[in-house]
Chains A and B, each alone.
Chain A
Amino acid sequence: MATVIQIIFGLIAALIVGAAVMVVTVRNVIHAALWLIACFFGVGALYLLLEAEFLAVVQVLVYVGAISILILFAIMLTRQVTGEGVRQLVGGWRLWLTAAISALLFAVAIVPTVISHSWNVPAPPAPPGTPEPLAGVAELGRAFVYEFLLQFQVAGVLLTVALIGAIVIAFEERARRRRVLTLAEEHELRKRLAHPPPVEAPAGEPAPAPRATPISEGEVQQ
C-alpha cells in the first residue's frame, strides 16, 4: 500500500513541478496561466493524498475557481502583453546560469536537511488537555472558533484591509489621475537639470517627460 501511495505521490509531484516549470518558461502568458491551473490541481491532489479532503476542496475552489480566473481576466484586459512576440523573461545564458546556480545552492542547503531529518519518529505525546489533531471539516471549524480564534479574526481584518486597499488603489476616478513622472524619469530629469544640455527647454519649466517612456495623451493632464 505504502508503495502505491509513494508512486502516486511521485506522479503528482512530477505534475506539479513540471507544470510550475512550464509556467515560467512558456512564451504565451495565457498558456502560462493554464499551466498554473494544472499546478493548482496537482496541489489539490496532494492534499487528498494527505487525507485533508476539506483543504483539497478549498484549494480547487479558491485557486482554480477564483484566482486563476482572475489572472485570466487580468491578462485579457491588458492585451498589449499577451502577444507571442513579447518575451516575458530576458533570456540568455547568463540568466539561466545564475538561476541554475542559485537553485542548486538552495537545494544543497535544503535537501540534506530534509533527508537527514528523522521523519518517522512519532510525535511526542501531547500534554493532556490539548485538542485532538485536526482531520475533518468539523475539527477545522472547531479549531477556528477555539484554538485559532484570534488568527481567524485577524485574518478577517487583514482581508478587509486588502479589500480597502484594492479599492483605494484601483477604484479612483480616472479623471483624477494625473500622470506625473516615474522614478526613473525623475532621476533623469534631475540629472539633466544639473547638467543642462546646450539646447533644451529652460530649466524650471514643467518637466517634459524623458524620451525613453512615451506617454499617451489620455494620461497627461497636468
Chain B
Amino acid sequence: MEWLIWLIPLLPFIGFVLNVFVIRRERAAGLVASGLVVASFVVAVLAIAALSGLPEEERRIMSVSWHWINTGALQVPFGIMLDPLTAVMVLLVTGVGALIHVYSIGYMHGDPRVVRYFAYLNLFITMMLFLVMGNNMLILFLGWEGVGLCSFLLIGFWFERAEASDAAVKAFVVNRIGDAAFILGMLAIYASFGTLNFYEVSVGGQVQPGFLERVPEIIGQTIGPVWQPIALTTAISFLLLIGATGKSAQFPLFVWLPDAMAGPTPVSALIHAATMVTGGVYMMTRNEALFAASPTTQSWVLWIGVLTAFIAGTSAIAQWDIKRVLAYSTVSQLGFMVAACGMGAYVAAIFHLLTHGIFKALLFLGAGSVIHGTHETQDMRKMGGLRHAMPTTYWTYLVGAGALAGIVPLAGFWSKDEILAHALSHDHWPQLIILFLTSLITAFYMGRQVALIFFGQQRDSHYHAHESGRVMTVPLIALAIGAIIGGAINLPWGHWLTDWLKPVLHEEAGKFNLALALIATAGAVGASYLGWWIYTRNAAKIKVGGKDPAYRYSGDIWDGLEEAWYFDRLYRRIIVRPFQRLGSFLASVFDPQGIDGLVLGVGVLFGQAGEQVRRFQSGYVRTYALIFTAGVVIVLGFVLLFTR
C-alpha cells in the first residue's frame, strides 16, 4: 500500500498536464486544478491517519518507484516518503494550497491567461510536495529547483507590468546563488557518505544506507588546506545553510522576496509566504543531524536568522505598498524560524512555520481581497476606512494581524513564544533581546497597516470599494479559524506537535515561561495599539505620494528603512554593475563587437573592399592568431616551467 502516497504529488501533476494540454476554458481550469489539490489533501489526510496508526518508531512510509540513478558507485532511488515531519509539511502545502486554489478562481477571474496560471500553480504544488516528500537530497533538489522555476514563472505572470519580469529574473538568479552552494553541499555529502538518501532504504532487495544515520562517522574529519582545516560537518552544513538563505530569503540573499510581490497575490500567499520560502527551514530541519554536529554553523544559522528578522522587521515599518509590508514581514518571520533552527529548537521552528503559513496566507489573501475590492490599488496611502465596505475582509485581516503580532490566544502567540522561551532557557541573551524587539516592531507595523487600510476616511475616492465574492471570502474565513485555533497543536500543556515529531527530531517539550509570556503579550498589545493610534490620529495628514507621519521624528533613517537598509542598491553597485562592466569589457576585447569586418580573405578575393575597410578588417584574423600564439606560449611556458 506504500505506493498510495504517490497519489499525493501525482494528483496535482495530473492537473498540470490537463491544464497544459487539454483544458482551454477558464472555468474548467479552476475547477480541475482546485479539485485535484483538494483530492491530494484528502489522500494526505488518509495517509497520515494510517501513519499515526503505526507504532512510534516505525512511522516512516517509503515508496520507491524506480532507480533514478543506478551506477556502481552512485545510487539514487526516485523515492518519496512520509514521516511525521513530512506529514505536517504535506498537510500545510496541500491544505493551504487547496484554499488558495479556490480563492484564485475568484481572484483571477477574467484574466486572459488564467489556464496557464492554474497549470503553473498545480506544477508548483507537485514540486513542493517532491521537495518535502523526497527521501533523498536529489529529489529534494528536484523539488527545490522546480518550485524555483514555478515561482519564476508566476512572479513574471503579469509581464505587461514592467517590473514583473525583472523581479522574476532577479528571484531566479539570486536563488541560483543559493542553489550553487546547495549543489556543492550535496556533492560533499555524497563524497563523505557515498549516498544521498536521508535514511536507510531498501530498493529491490538491496539496502542502501542513509547519511543522516551516519553523521557520527564523519565527526572529527576535516577538509581544507593544512594550515586552515575545516571540520567536514561544518563545511557541509554551511553550504546547505547558504542554500537555505537563498530559498528562504535570509540575509544576505533576501532581496528577491519583496520584489517577488509583482506576481498575483494568491501566488504571494502560497509561494512567497506559506510554502516555498519555508523550504529552506524544512531542509535545515530535515538535516538537523548534520547541523547539530557543527556548533560553528549553528551559531551562524542563529545570527543570520536574528539579523534577518531585525533588518526585515524594521524595513516593514516604512513601506507604503500593502504587499511589501507583508513581504518584509515574511522575511522577518522566516528569520525567527531560522533563528529557532540555530538554537536547536527545531520543533519550535516547524511550529512557527505552520502557524505562520496559515496566518500569513490569511493576511496575503486579505490583502488580495483589499486589492481586488479597491480595483488594483496597492498603495496604502490611497486606502483608509475600508472596514465598512469590506467587513469580512476586515475581521479576518484583524485576526491575521493579531496572530502575527502575537496576541493571546491566537496561533502566532504560541509559536513565537516558544522560540523566545527557548532562547531564554538556553541563555541566548543578545539574540533574545533582538528577537523580542523585533516582535514589538512586528506588532507596531501591523497596527500601522490595519489603521492605514481599514480606519479613518478613504483618502482616494477614485474607486468604489466593495467586498469580494463568496469564493474569496470563504477561504479567508477558513484560514482565520485556522489562525485562531492553530496554536492548539502545540500548547505548552499539550505539546502534541512535539510528541508527533519526536521520532524525527527527538526533542523534549520546552518549558513555558509565564513571565516572558506576560511581558511579550503586554508588549505586543502595547506596540500594536501604538501603531494603530499614531496612524489613526494622523490619518488626515497622510497624502498620496506624501511622507509618513513618523518621518518628522526619524528623518533620513526612514528613507533607509524604506529601501531595506539599501541592500539592493549595494548589490547593484558592487555586484551587478561590475559584472555588467566586465561583460561589456570582455565583449569588447574578446569579442570584437561582432566582427565589424573580418573579411580579409574575402576582401582580397573580391578585390573590392576599400583600403580603409581592409586595413580594419585584416586586424581580426591576425588578432585571433596572435591570441592563439600567446596561448601557445602560455601553455608551453606553464608546462615547461611548472611541471618539472
> Is A–B contact present in the complex under a CB 8 A cutoff?
yes
From known contacts A78-B607, A81-B604, infer whether A105 and B637 are also in contact, taking CB-CB under 8 Å.
Answer: yes
Determine if B608 and A184 form an interchain contact, defined as CB atoms under 8 angstroms apart: no
Q: Does A90 contact B (CB under 8 A)?
A: yes
Contact A109 B598, CB 8 Å, known A81-B607, A102-B626: no
The answer for the CA separation of A182 and B593 in the assembled complex, in Å, is: 14
Determine how close the nearest CB of chain B comes to the CB of A172; give it in whole angstroms: 14
CA distance A81 to B611 in the complex (A): 11
> Which residues in B have their C-beta under 8 angstroms from that of A105?
633, 637
Partner of A216, one of B594, B605, B608, B612: B608
Whether, in the assembled complex, A206 has its beta carbon less than 8 Å from a beta carbon of chain B, the answer is no
Q: Please tell me which stretch of B362-370, B424-432, B613-621 contacts chain A, meaning at least 4 of its Cβ atoms lie within 8 angstroms of it.
A: B613-621
In the complex, A183 has a CB within 8 A of chain B: yes
Q: Does B557 contact A (CB under 8 A)?
A: no
* B-facing residues in A122-177 (Cβ within 8 Å): none
* B42 located at the interface, meaning its Cβ lies under 8 Å from any Cβ of chain A in the complex: no
Chain A residues in 8 Å Cβ range of B630? 102
A93 within 8 A of B: no
B584 within 8 A of A: no
Q: Is A188 an interface residue (CB 8 A)?
A: yes
Q: How far is the CB of A103 from chain B (nearest CB, A)?
A: 9
Docked complex: B441-469 residues within 8 A CB-CB of A: none
Known: A102-B629, A106-B633, A187-B596. A113 touches B608 (CB 8 A): no
Q: Is the interface of B mostly helix, strand, loop or mixed?
A: helix
Partner of A213 from the list B605, B613, B629, B640 (CB cut-off 8 Å) is B613
Taking a contact as CB atoms under 8 Å apart, the answer to whether B595 and A183 are in contact is yes
A182 CB contacts on chain B under 8 angstroms: 597, 599, 602
- Residues 173-206 of A, flagged 1 when their CB comes within 8 A of B and 0 if not, give 0000000001110011000000000000000000
Most buried by A among B599, B633, B640: B633
Contact A212 B597 (CB under 8 A): yes
A1 within 8 A of B: no
0/1 interface trace, chain B 613-644, chain A, CB 8 Å (1 if under): 10101110000001001101100110010000
- Counting contact residues on chain A (CB < 8 A from B), the size range is 20 to 34
Q: If A109-B636, A109-B637 touch, does A184 touch B604 (CB 8 Å cutoff)? A: no
- Kindly state the separation between the CA atoms of A60 and B550 in the bound complex, as whole angstroms: 94
User: Helix, strand, loop or mixed for chain A's interface?
Assistant: helix
Q: Evaluate whether A212 and B610 lie within 8 angstroms (CB atoms) in the complex, with A98-B626, A183-B594 already known.
A: yes
Question: What is the bound-complex CA distance between A90 and B615, given in angstroms?
Answer: 7
A108 CA to B632 CA in the complex, in Å?
12
Docked pose: A212 CA to B632 CA in angstroms: 35
- CA of A90 to CA of B612, assembled, Å: 11
Against A, the Cβ 8 Å flags (1 = close, 0 = not) of B271-309 are 000000000000000000000000000000000000000
Q: Does A110 reach chain B (CB closer than 8 Å)?
A: yes
Residue-wise interface mask of A (205-222) relative to B, using a CB-CB cutoff of 8 A (1 in contact, 0 not): 000000011111001000
A193 to chain B, nearest CB (A): 14
Q: How far, in whole Å, are A214 and B609 apart by their CA atoms in the complex? A: 7
A113 to B641 CA separation, bound complex (whole angstroms)? 11
Indicate if A3 sits at the interface (CB-CB under 8 A).
no
Say yes or no: A188-B596 contact (C-beta < 8 A), given A106-B633, A109-B640, A182-B602: yes
- Measured between C-beta atoms, what is the minimum distance from A68 to chain B in Å? 18
Question: A70 CA to B584 CA in the complex, in Å?
Answer: 44
List the B residue with the shortest CB-CB distance to A184.
B597
Interfacial chain A residues near B607, Cβ < 8 Å: 78-81
Q: Could you tell me the distance between the alpha carbons of A141 and B640 in the complex, rounded to whole angstroms?
A: 38
A93-114 contact mask (Cβ, 8 Å, vs B): 1 or 0: 0000010001001101110110
Interchain CB contact under 8 A, A78 and B604: yes
A81, B598: Cα distance in complex, Å: 18
Chain B: which residue is nearest A99 at the CB level?
B626
A41 to B615, CA, bound (A): 33
| C-alpha spacing A79/B580, complex, angstroms | 47
Question: Chain A nearest CB: distance from B639 CB in Å?
Answer: 9
Docked CA distance A113–B593 (Å): 39
CB distance from A180 to the nearest CB of B (A): 12
Chain B residues lying within 8 Å of A212, measured Cβ to Cβ, are: 597, 610, 612-613
Known: A102-B630, A109-B636, A212-B613. A80 touches B594 (CB 8 A): no
Nearest chain B CB to A83 CB, angstrom units:
11
In the bound complex, CA of A105 to CA of B636 (Å): 10
Given that A90-B618, A183-B594, A187-B596 are contacting pairs, would A102 and B613 also be in contact in the complex, using a CB cutoff of 8 Å? Answer: no
| Bound-complex Cα distance A180 to B626 (A) | 30
| B597 partner residues in chain A, CB cutoff 8 A | 182, 184, 212-213
| Centre residue among A81, A182, A187, A188 by max chain B CB count within 10 A | A182
Closest residue of B by beta carbon distance from A80: B607
A61 to B80, CA, bound (A): 75
- Which residues in B have their C-beta under 8 angstroms from that of A187? 593-596
Q: CA A213 – CA B607 in complex, angstroms?
A: 11
Q: How far is the CA of A102 from the CA of B630 in the complex (A)?
A: 7
Contact A102 B633 (CB under 8 A): yes
Contact at A110–B636, with CB atoms within 8 Å? yes
Do B633 and A213 have beta carbons less than 8 Å apart?
no
Contact residues, B467-509 vs A (CB, 8 A): none
Find the residue from B602, B604, B618 having the highest chain A CB count within 10 A. Answer: B604
Tell me which residues across on chain A come within 8 A of B610, comparing CB atoms: 212-214
Contact A109–B633 (Cβ < 8 Å): yes
Inter-chain contact A184/B598, CB cutoff 8 Å: yes
List, in ascending order, chain B residues with CB within 8 A of A80's CB: 607-608
Contact among A79, A184, A219 with B599 in the assembled complex (CB-CB below 8 Å) = A184
- Shortest Cβ distance from B593 into A: residue: A187
A106 (CB) vs chain B CBs: closest residue: B633
What residues on B are CB-neighbors of A78 within 8 Å?
604-605, 607
CB-nearest residue of chain A to B608: A216
Residues of B within 8 A of A89 (CB): 618
Measured in the bound complex, the distance between the Cα atoms of B612 and A187 in whole Å is: 18
User: What are the 9 A-B residue pairs with the smallest beta carbon separation, nearest first?
Assistant: A80-B607, A184-B597, A109-B636, A105-B633, A187-B594, A102-B629, A212-B613, A184-B596, A183-B595
13 sampled A-B residue pairs with Cβ under 8 A: A79-B607, A81-B604, A89-B618, A90-B618, A105-B637, A106-B629, A106-B636, A108-B637, A109-B633, A113-B640, A182-B599, A212-B610, A213-B597
Which A residues fall within an 8 A CB radius of B?
Answer: 78-81, 89-90, 98, 102, 105-106, 108-110, 112-113, 182-184, 187-188, 212-216, 219
Given contacts A102-B633, A105-B637, A182-B602, 15 further A-B contacts (CB under 8 A): A80-B607, A98-B626, A102-B629, A112-B640, A182-B599, A183-B595, A183-B599, A184-B597, A184-B617, A187-B594, A188-B596, A212-B610, A213-B609, A214-B608, A216-B608
